[in-house]
Amino acid sequence: MKTQMETDLKLESSLWVGNKRHLAVLTGWHLRWTEADKKNPDKKTVSVPVAEVVRVEEGRVKILPHKSVEDTGRDFTVFYVKRSNSRTTSGLLWRLGQTQFTCPSRVLRDQWTKHLWTVLKTHSPLRPHRLLVFINPFGGKNKGRQIYHSLVAPLFELAGINSHVIVTERANHARDHLLKKDLTGFDGVVCVGGDGMFNEILHGVIGKTQQEAGLCENDPAVTLQQCPLHIGIIPAGSTDCVCYATVGVIDPVTSALHIVIGDSQPLDVCSVHYGPGQVRYSVSLVGYGFYGDVLAESEKHRWMGPFRYDYSGAVVFLSNRSYSGTVQYLLADPLLSSPRDKTRCLSGCGVCSRSTERLFRNSSDSGSLYSSYSGPFSNDSEGEWMSVDGRFKCVSLTCMSSSCAKSPLGLSPSAHLADGTGDLILVWDTNPLGFLKYLHRHTTTQDQFDLPFVEVHRVKAVRFALASRGEEAEDNESLSNGMDGEDGGHIENGSRAGSLQHLAAGAKGQTMTSEDKTVTPFMCGLCCRKTPAVSVWNCDGEILPFPEIFCKIHGQLVHLYARGIEDGASLRDCTEERVESNTTCILQR
Ligand SMILES: Nc1ncnc2c1ncn2[C@@H]1O[C@H](COP(=O)(O)OP(=O)(O)OP(=O)(O)O)[C@@H](O)[C@H]1O
């Protein structure tokens, strides 16, 4: 069915592109042009969604090496998003396409530009006009400034975006600025850096929103206010996992174009409450055990650069540790989706869009999540609380697939960006070979959950408590016994029954003793029986100083300038083959 916009705004003319006559058509949704030569059987149509038109300018416009405009009175230039395949990753790269049209008269030219500007305004209400940009000059390979000024700033300028740029001088500079300064007039915040820098900005934006709403973000019972400022990520870090999982490629030009056209991707955020009333936010990994130990170990080897993660991973793997604890989790509705349904959260994801309505319908009473946590377990209206205890290699919670270049499908390949849930992955204690198999599957397309010692649950909240010292001693003993003769199966030394238990007990977080915090030198677990009792939590690359935590997922708390991972196969069918050859691609890296 045609919309009002489509029927009202149809414009069709014969225009020149280069030295060839074309039939150009503008509807409410698309700008299309096709070569008018009836004899040419190979003529192609270029079809650009209006939402992906970056800029329309009168005259013949060139932007490289410097912007120049030649106005003959009959020309106009359209800049738009053009897709191409990436040679290095599986995703689609976005580039700036440019086409010059020549009209038979100035009147027709004015009619075309006026119509294009009108549809652009109507279609893209979220295009930013003013942005606050933070550049971490020391992220990744120290190229943040260069990436921004050579690849991103020219696009912002072309799109008429006014940017206020701050090069950070210390860690938490961006977060403090966001919390303290007046942000009136800004449409969004841009992070030029890696995941650590994004996390800083995430804390600043969420903190500022709650501050202005008069809400106490440390209180897990509070329903946090959705943040009005969009966040854009220009990848310039070492891993750039959040960018990869929300855009599909790590490419500054692609990300800049998503910002320019005002794409909007809602994102779930996990609040992690620990210690006496403290909170941190996570969008990718909250991990205890292996992932906590790898982070703690890698902090000692920062001088190695990004290689420190591989090195520390190997060291921690060889230490063969496992930890006791009790994990309690509030199950999400299994009828809506499942972490093993083999779907992927792609651009326009049905699960996320169905969740949008549900999340906002329930937002008025979602504070009751925490009430269920502090009281006895029950099958309340929010879902079912479950409890398991035993020894784990790792306990991980992720709000997204957490895919990255090294693990293209991620920690939980079917996790959704914006459905108000997270995936809890419990890897029970197993022998080193079994655990290696689990880790290796992250780098392949094999199902990492199809192992007897791994389970995954789609959840809305999680609580982790340490085992009591008595239980732990027992566990350690059974660990040493269980080591012998196991091959890939998990070592049965805890309760996996999913028994319903009382949550009130131990609700207060236990702090680590100084003995727990002391880093024991890692040694091969096969020859070293005494392992430390407590690990640390890795919260999106930050170490949490308390092992007992409560996590709650806040559906769609923030919005990114992104649209989720595009399905390359379907887009290739509908756009790439129809792009004509004389369309130039500028700003190519
Ligand atoms: N000027 C600065 N000096 C020192 N540290 C900074 C500065 N600006 C930001 N930081 C901090 O540097 C940390 C790491 O930065 P960033 O995430 O950009 O790069 P990275 O660690 O190389 O990449 P990734 O996080 O993707 O692995 C962030 O936690 C941030 O708080």
Q: What is the pLDDT of residues 312-355, one digit of tens each?
A: 999 999 999 999 999 999 999 988 899 999 888 888 888 888 87
Mean pLDDT of 392-420: 93
Q: Within a 13 Å sphere around the CA of 554, how many CA atoms are in the beta-carbon half?
A: 24
For a ligand 1 pocket test, name from 133, 138, 298 the mutation site with the most ligand atoms within 8 angstroms of its C-beta: 138
H helix or E strand, kind and range, residue 271: strand 265-274
Is 210 touching ligand 1 by the criterion CB < 6 Å? no
Specify the 3-state DSSP secondary structure of 500.
Answer: coil
How many other CB atoms are found less than 10 A from the CB of residue 485? 7
Is 422 touching ligand 1 by the criterion CB < 6 Å? no
Cα–Cα distances in angstroms (integers) from residue 344 to residues 362, 403, 572, in the given order: 25, 11, 18
Is 357 touching ligand 1 by the criterion CB < 6 Å? no
248: left (phi over 0), alpha (psi -120 to 50) or beta: left
Give distance in angstroms: CA of 192 to centre of ligand 1.
10
Is 314 touching ligand 1 by the criterion CB < 6 Å? no
Mean pLDDT value across the chain? 83
Specify the 3-state DSSP secondary structure of 337.
Answer: coil
Which two structure tokens, joined as six digits, stand for 396? 């991980």
Which domains does the chain carry? 4-125+569-586 (2.30.29.30), 130-262 (3.40.50.10330), 283-334+367-554 (2.60.200.40)
pLDDT surpasses 50 at 498: no
Ligand 1 atom closest to residue 140's alpha carbon, by position in its atom list: 22
Ligand 1 atom closest to residue 137's alpha carbon, by position in its atom list: 1
568 touches 92 (CB < 8 A): yes
How many other CB atoms are found less than 10 A from the CB of residue 356? 15
Q: Percent of the chain scored above 70 by pLDDT?
A: 78
The per-residue pLDDT for 530 is 59
Which residues in 560-578 are b (16+ Cβ under 10 Å) and which e? bbbbbbbebeeeeeebeee
For a ligand 1 pocket test, name from 136, 143, 200 the mutation site with the most ligand atoms within 8 angstroms of its C-beta: 136
Higher-pLDDT residue of 38 and 78 is 78
- Separation between Cα atoms, residue 392 and residue 248, nearest integer Å: 31
Is 204 touching ligand 1 by the criterion CB < 6 Å? no
The ipTM is 0.97
Specify the 3-state DSSP secondary structure of 75.
Answer: strand
550 touches 234 (CB < 8 A): no
With bands split at pLDDT 50, 70 and 90, how would you rate the model's confidence at 472? low
Mean pLDDT of 554-579: 71
Entry field: residues in the chain: 589
Give distance in angstroms: CA of 171 to centre of ligand 1.
7
Q: Within a 13 Å sphere around the CA of 223, how many CA atoms are in the beta-carbon half?
A: 13
Nearest CA to ligand 1 atom 31: 171
With bands split at pLDDT 50, 70 and 90, how would you rate the model's confidence at 359? low
Higher-pLDDT residue of 377 and 278 is 278
Q: Lowest-pLDDT range, 8-22, 106-120, 435-449?
A: 8-22
Is 298 touching ligand 1 by the criterion CB < 6 Å? no
Nearest CA to ligand 1 atom 12: 171
**150: Cβ contacts below 8 Å, ≥ 6 apart:** none
Mean pLDDT of 286-306: 91
Q: Are strands 542-544 and 383-398 parallel, antiparallel or unpaired?
A: unpaired
82 touches 583 (CB < 8 A): yes
The per-residue pLDDT for 192 is 98
Is 239 touching ligand 1 by the criterion CB < 6 Å? yes
On the question of a cis peptide bond just before residue 376, with omega within 30 degrees of 0, the verdict is: no
The per-residue pLDDT for 84 is 87
pLDDT surpasses 90 at 516: no
Which residues share a beta bridge with 424?
Answer: 397, 457
With bands split at pLDDT 50, 70 and 90, how would you rate the model's confidence at 526? very low
- Separation between Cα atoms, residue 428 and residue 153, nearest integer Å: 48
Give distance in angstroms: CA of 136 to centre of ligand 1.
6
With bands split at pLDDT 50, 70 and 90, how would you rate the model's confidence at 138? very high
Is 195 touching ligand 1 by the criterion CB < 6 Å? yes
The per-residue pLDDT for 365 is 45
What are the residue ranges of helices labelled H in 320-367?
350-362
Ligand 1 atom closest to residue 191's alpha carbon, by position in its atom list: 18
Give distance in angstroms: CA of 252 to centre of ligand 1.
17
Q: Lowest-pLDDT range, 2-6, 57-61, 160-164, 394-398?
A: 2-6
Which two structure tokens, joined as six digits, stand for 137? 């000059």
Helices and strands per DSSP (H, E), number in the chain: 16, 25
Nearest CA to ligand 1 atom 11: 171
Give distance in angstroms: CA of 146 to centre of ligand 1.
16
Q: Are strands 379-380 and 422-428 parallel, antiparallel or unpaired?
A: unpaired
Ligand 1 atom closest to residue 240's alpha carbon, by position in its atom list: 26
What are 72-98's pLDDT values in tens digits? 899 999 999 999 876 666 678 999 999
Closest by CA to 397, choosing from 291, 506, 275, 241, is 291
Q: Which of 42, 75, 182, 195 is catalytic?
A: 195
Is 193 touching ligand 1 by the criterion CB < 6 Å? yes
What angle in degrees, to the nearest 10, is found between the helix axes of 432-441 and 307-319?
Answer: 150
Nearest CA to ligand 1 atom 22: 140
pLDDT surpasses 70 at 108: yes
Give distance in angstroms: CA of 344 to centre of ligand 1.
30
- Separation between Cα atoms, residue 154 and residue 176, nearest integer Å: 28
Q: pTM of the prediction?
A: 0.84
Is 200 touching ligand 1 by the criterion CB < 6 Å? yes
422 touches 398 (CB < 8 A): yes
Nearest CA to ligand 1 atom 29: 196
Which of the residue ranges 16-20, 404-408, 415-419, 522-526 has the most confident prediction, judged by mean pLDDT? 415-419
DSSP per-residue string spanning 408-463: TT-SSTT--SSSS-EEEEEEE-B-HHHHHHHHHHTTSSS-TT-STTEEEEEEEEEE
The per-residue pLDDT for 578 is 39
Q: Lowest-pLDDT range, 281-285, 381-385, 440-444?
A: 381-385
Q: Lowest-pLDDT range, 192-206, 464-478, 564-578?
A: 564-578
Nearest CA to ligand 1 atom 10: 171
**Dihedral sign of CA atoms 187, 189, 192, 195 in order:** negative
Is 240 touching ligand 1 by the criterion CB < 6 Å? yes
- 240 is a catalytic site residue: no
The per-residue pLDDT for 374 is 40
Give distance in angstroms: CA of 299 to centre of ligand 1.
13
Is 284 touching ligand 1 by the criterion CB < 6 Å? no
- Separation between Cα atoms, residue 316 and residue 295, nearest integer Å: 10
Give distance in angstroms: CA of 138 to centre of ligand 1.
6
With bands split at pLDDT 50, 70 and 90, how would you rate the model's confidence at 231? very high
Is 169 touching ligand 1 by the criterion CB < 6 Å? yes
H helix or E strand, kind and range, residue 286: strand 285-289
Give distance in angstroms: CA of 170 to centre of ligand 1.
9
Nearest CA to ligand 1 atom 5: 171
Is 139 touching ligand 1 by the criterion CB < 6 Å? yes
The per-residue pLDDT for 318 is 95
Give distance in angstroms: CA of 207 to centre of ligand 1.
19
Q: Name the percent of the chain in helix, strand, coil, to the closest 5.
A: 30, 30, 40
